[in-house]
Amino acid sequence: MKGFLIGVTLLLAAAGPAWAISDPAEALANPKQEARAEAIGRQLRCLVCQNESIEDSGADLARDLRRIVRQRVAAGDSDQQIIAWLVARYGNFVRLKPPFEWGTALLWGSPVLALLVAGGIAFAARQRHPAPPAPLDAAEQARLRSLLDS
Amino acid sequence: MNRRVLLLAPFAATVAAGAGFLAMLHRASDGQFDPHEVPSMLIGKHVPPFSLPGDPGFSDKDLSGRPILVNFFASWCVPCIEEAGMLMSLKQTGLPLYGIAYKDKPAATAAFLAEHGDPYARLAHDAPGRVAIDWGVTGVPESYLVDKDGIVRWRWVGPLTEDAVTGELQPMLRRYA
């Protein structure tokens, strides 16, 4: 039993944390450039798996795209230039965060729309609330007291 | 009156949304709508410049003069086997098919074509898969119709089916003949 526990502990220690799918050999030598490449890659969709970024995906195409992003970062392209290069080939679909345009107006506008609708309903509900009754005058107060006392 | 409208509005909205989703599901089931479809950026544009090796291989300059169907495939691709018969019958119609073997070894490609039939007038190898990225290829098989001026007119993702050929490719060929 003790041997088994030691074995499991050693195995877990050997496994180490799995930070990302990317092979360390893919990473750029310059840590600043690598951080930029990762930040760009996280905004790009893997076209094979579709709901993972190319940084998270194990697909072949995602690996190729990671390599291209790194080559362009190393060559000094700006983030916008690199993303535009991919959008020219795969369309805005490659961006995990779609830009604001006519086709996505409803998507981006939906939180504002929801607030407007809720605000409208709350306002309408308030409008229809009857006004609070006027405060009691002296005669009414006297009558209320007499009723309460009896 | 106002109160009734307020009460009914959420129900009306729910019914409308439900009808919308039902229509979407219905269109998805008969293939008119595919939420996973990635629209091609190449439609209406010139083929991207490239030059690929082969025997003798081909380049973007070879894709003009007549409509050509460019087909990305690989020997390791199972749906490509499914598509092989359709490509052979397209070859019979006289449409030139240019094949690009994606991330494949030339010997494996040759064995694949020997087994399933070789529909290609020209064959090129894109072993690194770099040219495929310029075309916006997301996987194999994928087919592109290039017109006589070298402009991409149509793209099909996945194996070419009877419906794709009669419903889309043939009308495109008539239009851009």
Block means of pLDDT (10 residues each) for chain B, 177 residues, are 79 90 83 69 94 92 94 95 95 95 95 96 95 93 95 94 92 91
pLDDT value of residue A66: 93
pTM of the full predicted structure?
0.74
Q: Is the pLDDT of residue A117 over 90?
A: yes
Contacts of A96 by beta carbon, 8 Å cutoff, 6+ apart: A42, A43, A44, A45, A53
Which residue of chain B comes nearest to A91, CA vs CA?
B41
- H or E, element range at A28: none
Judge contact between B112 and B126, C-beta under 8 A: no
Q: In the predicted model, is pLDDT for residue A131 greater than 90?
A: no
* Interstrand relation of B68-73 and B58-59 (parallel, antiparallel or unpaired): unpaired
Is it the case that residue A8 has pLDDT exceeding 50?
A: yes
Position A19 confidence tier, pLDDT thresholds 50, 70, 90: very low
Find the chain B residues whose C-beta atoms sit closer than 8 A to any C-beta of A. Answer: 2-3, 6, 36, 38-41, 103, 128-130, 133-136, 138-139
* Res A78 pLDDT > 80: yes
Query: What is the rounded average pLDDT of the residues A12-36?
Result: 70
Mean pLDDT of chain A: 84
Report pLDDT for A17: 43
ipTM of the complex: 0.78
Nearest to B41 among A50, A64, A91 (CB): A91
> How many CB pairs (< 8 A) connect A and B?
41
Q: What is the pLDDT of residue B4?
A: 81
Name the residue in chain B with its Cα closest to that of A65.
Answer: B133
CA distance A5 to A11: 10
Give the nearest chain B residue to A128 (CA atoms): B3
